[in-house]
Amino acid sequence: MLIRIPRNGDPLPSEITPQAVAGSRRLFLRQMAAGTLVAAGAANPLLAAAQAQRARLQALRNPKYTAPDKPTAFTDATTYNNFYEFGLDKDDPAKYAGKLKARPWTVRIDGEVRRPLTLDIDELLKLAPLEERLYRLRCVEGWSMAIPWIGYSFAELMRKVEPTGNAKFVEFTTLADRAQMPGLSSAVLDWPYTEGLRIDEANHPLALLTFGMYGRVLPNQNGAPVRIVLPWKYGFKSAKSIVRIRFTEAQPRTAWNRAAPEEYGFFSNVNPDVDHPRWSQATERRIGEDGFFTPKRRTLMFNGYPEVASLYAGMDLKKFY
């Protein structure tokens, strides 16, 4: 891999990221070698106590969208996270996201829509019946989880705002508040975090506007109070703590694609045949199940969701990574 040295001596975002990833991987290996993430001390006792009292969130389980996987333990799913607004290490979100105020919260939906809306989080919650769906989530770094998410198809929100014929993409913007998010002091990304989808991807029934997990409202470190979950794409596409949803004619510029376009493409579908420039994507480890000495699992195309393949008919998925 060609390493570019910037003239002013400052590292590029794409050269900063590997250090964070490498440090997180070392932490993960130490934890896995110890047996489990919890046993290795990743859990924050004060956080765990607060989570135990979190509000329940009722939803009907949708068997149509239930992966044949054992759910990842709640503690593992809430103490091993990527949420760079709270820090670069996997345990930073659990340590520092307690400052996030998830109420009151509003989300603005605008752009190429006939009915722009600004909704309180509770109004957004009530737009459609909530479902529980067990989805796999795979990180670009090679680890995965299976989480029972709670939400409704993003298509339900699209029907409410009525995108115009000019709407070709959807852009998600997340909260960027330095008073609540210590990770914003890092130059690893250009804040606020933005992500985007083609409108047919956003309209697919699997795309889940998400408010909870494990029968509870979303913990702060997992993207409270609202995020998007796209189980066939790498985890960084699933924007957390969303404050704005904008429908656009032009393809939006996304945070990781701006930071390192040679590593993070716009589509970012899980494709085991396309290696990341610094590691293979052919295999993965399931957090909480696969120990350090357990053979890695084979990564599935589209993360095991073949029903989205028709969205990309005729596309070169090695070119449009």
Task: Yes or no: say if 74 and 214 are a contact pair by the CB < 8 Å rule.
Answer: yes
Q: How far apart are CA 173 and CA 253, in angstroms?
A: 11
Distance (Å, whole) CA 311 – CA 300: 17
In a domain, 1, yes or no: no
The pLDDT value given to residue 293: 86
- Which residue in 258, 251, 303, 262 sits closest to 281, CA to CA? 303
- How deeply is 37 buried, as exposed, middle or buried, from its count of CB atoms within 10 A (0-12, 13-18, 19+)? buried
In whole angstroms, give the CA distance from residue 12 to residue 210. 33
CATH of the domain at 105: 3.90.420.10
In a domain, 139, yes or no: yes
Per-residue pLDDT tens over the stretch 130-146: 999 999 999 999 999 99
Contact 311, 304 (CB under 8 A): no
Is residue 6 situated within a structural domain? no
**Tokens 């957004």 -> residue:** 124
Two tokens, residue 54 = 């979190």
Q: What is the pLDDT of residue 47?
A: 52
* pLDDT 10s digits, 29-73: 433 333 333 333 334 544 543 554 478 999 999 999 999 999 999
Look at the chain and report how many structural domains it folds into: 1
Confidence bin at 292 (pLDDT 50/70/90): confident
Q: Residue 127: which of 144, 110, 151, 104 has the closest Cα? A: 151
Asked, for residue 4, whether it belongs to a domain, the answer is no
- What's the pLDDT at 18? 35
Domain of 90, in residue numbers: 13-312
User: Is 318 part of any domain?
Assistant: no
175 within a domain of the structure (yes/no):
yes
Q: Is residue 2 part of a domain?
A: no
Average pLDDT of the chain is 87
Q: How confident is the model at residue 214 (pLDDT cuts 50, 70, 90)?
A: very high
Q: Rounded to whole angstroms, how far apart are CA atoms 40 and 28?
A: 9
89: tokens are: 């290490």
SS3 66: strand
Per the CB < 8 A criterion, the answer to whether 200 and 281 are in contact is: no
User: What is the Cα–Cα distance from 136 to 296, expressed in whole angstroms?
Assistant: 16
Q: What is the mean pLDDT of residues 64-83?
A: 95
Is 116 inside a domain boundary? yes
* Model pLDDT, residue 11: 36
Q: Are 140 and 244 in contact (CB under 8 A)?
A: no
Q: Which two tokens stand for residue 194?
A: 């933005």
Cβ–Cβ under 8 Å, residues 265 and 233: no
Beta strand 283-286 with 242-248 is unpaired
More confident residue, 32 or 290: 290
Q: What is the pTM of this model?
A: 0.84
Peptide bond into 225 cis (omega under 30): yes
Amino acid letter, 314: G
